[in-house]
A and B are shown apart, each in its own frame.
Chain A
Amino acid sequence: MTESTNSEWRSAPPGEAVTPPGEAGSTLVGGPEEPVSPEPPTPPEQPGGKKKVVRLGDRLFQGVATGSGIFVVSIIAAIGLFLLVRAIPALHANEANFLLSGQWRTGDPENMAFGIVDLAWITVASSLVALIIAMPVAGGIALFLTQYAPKVLARPFAYVVDLLAAVPSVIYGLWGALVLAPVLKPVALWINGTLGWIPIFADGNVPANSGSNVFTAGIVLAVMILPIITGVAREVFERTPSAQIEGALALGATKWEVVRTTVWPFGRSGFVGGAMLGLGRALGETVALTVILSYTFEGPHYSIFDAGATFASRIALGSAEFNNHLTVGAYIAAGLVLFISTFAVNALARWIESGSGKGKK
């Protein structure tokens, strides 16, 4: 009885039934009337109505789950919309080309000229340096922990690596600027001196021995994203089916060959996914880079010995300027680009994962 009235309720709106929402409580009264009522409503009700028994718990859970999903998506959409709405007026007032200019003059709302090229370069360069260093190291740590290390050692070691993620980023910034940068000076000078003919290692817009450049920032970022990549990689490598590992061993594979033929092909996509997560973190890292990178008015020379600001550190540095709508809008426009690029990186990670997943089956 209740079931049939429920289903009538569900199909009522499309069928243009008489019962308005207010009568929800009085279904018992409305219910019996329905079957007696003339043909039109009944045919569409029967197929769906008799088959599906929807329990209250299921409906509740489905509602909560769907609601949470919608909530998250709408939050993200709202953030994107907010960024867009606030950025547009500033972009209209912009006298430079937002995508192609490298200058950042936002102090006077009447006369703003700003573009993202320099920010994009510093952001991407430091993140890529970080990724290039962190990926092999993280992969190596994960393989060591899952394949080589004795169990007694693996646990505490993994814990220590995870602990790296718990260090506040301002500490990383101080460490990078005060400890690492001086240590790296000779290395930077050597690279610059020997490989300087390659543009990426040429002189930057600050002296190579200053230490407050993309090179230092990238290394600090590498340490910061190490735990993320290692954690993901460890998990996927651990899940390599033991049947496959034994299969390789029984064929006379050495430890390294086992890794190459089974563990790596199995975990590769997950590892790349983890690296993309790390990249996402590196792109958005703010405080550490604000501390490390020195500020310069000279445009970048497209070398890893450049200094400057990333999207995030530019926004952080500019917070003192947030005194009118248009100036804030300029920073928000930069934030929008960062938002979109992290989004794109995540989408790319998914795409890579699904791509190599297809290769598996």
Chain B
Amino acid sequence: MAKRLDINDLNLYYNKFHAVQDVTLQVHARSVTAFIGPSGCGKSTVLRALNRMHEVIPGSRVEGSVLLDGENVYAPGVDPVQVRRTIGMVFQRANPFPTMSIRDNVVAGLKLAGVKDKKRLEEVTERSLRGANLWEEVKDRLNKPGGGLSGGQQQRLCIARAIAVQPDVLLMDEPCSALDPISTLAIEDLIAELKKDYTIVIVTHNMQQAARVSDQTAFFNLPEVGQPGQLVEIGETGKIFSNPSQKATEGYISGRFG
């Protein structure tokens, strides 16, 4: 549980288009790392490369390595399906399976992994929903479809679904961008709790959010339109927001561009 990630010389492509260039950074275990930067700078692309979701898009290509506690997830012979079971993901838009009940949504990952034991599934359902701060709200309607919940509840359901398989790392791609402030706060509180057990990487457009929830922040930027996105700098969140070493970071954070 809760492993570290070492990303080395990561280059990402969509067909001929070079999307991200030479990213090298470390993600510490049991901490929150935030990726910030203007739209199109490749931060979501990098995030999706960490659990090999990047290659789902036809024509995409990856160079470099991503080490999960020293094991390269891109090593030949590594099954991407297995990687995704150990590195969970939460998306920008809550995407519970609409035909499944709340309970089935939570344990969907476990069922895919072949767990059939009813008692175990029950336990995981409750533990995960409690972990996602959703248990009290849905415990009386676990058999109702997940699509009937509010947007914020659906997103927490997706987080419950992601943590039900007890992943080593949890990736979050702008998890609050479609939510109202109250639901956002609920998710942020949840992230603070989850980092006790999980390694979390979060992409966000909301800089206050990055400042509130993360321990270290990586700033990505696009040198020019048409050029690949780059990692400008990464450092302790406090330092990035108060005293960044790069001009571009300072400009972005102070709202001069982006």
Q: Which residues of A contact B (CB under 8 A)?
A: 150-151, 241, 243-244, 246-254, 257, 261-262, 265-266, 359-361
Contacts and interface: CB of A to CB of B under 8 A. Distances in A.
B84 A252 contact: yes
Contact of A265 (B85, B91, B97, B162): B97
A360 B97 contact: no
Interface string B62-96: 00000000000000000001101100110101011
Contacts of A248: 97, 108
A175 to B, nearest CB: 38
A265 B81 contact: no
A360 B84 contact: no
Contacts, number: 72
Chain A at the B interface: SS class? helix
B98 interface: yes
B148 interface: yes
Nearest to B108: A251
Contacts of A250: 51, 53, 84, 88-89, 91, 162
A317 to B, nearest CB: 47
B165 interface: yes
Interface of B: 51, 53, 56, 58, 81-82, 84-85, 88-89, 91, 93, 95-100, 108-109, 112-113, 145, 147-148, 158, 161-162, 165
Contacts of B109: 251-252
Interface centre among B91, B95, B109, B147 (most CB of A within 10 A): B95
Contact of A251 (B93, B112, B148): B112
Q: Which 8 pairs between the two chains have the least Cβ-Cβ distance?
A: A252-B85, A250-B89, A265-B99, A243-B95, A247-B95, A251-B109, A252-B84, A252-B81
Given A251-B84, A261-B97, 10 more contacts: A241-B95, A246-B53, A250-B53, A250-B84, A250-B162, A251-B85, A265-B97, A266-B99, A361-B145, A361-B147
Contacts of B113: 252
A134 to B, nearest CB: 25
B99 to A, nearest CB: 4
A246 B82 contact: no
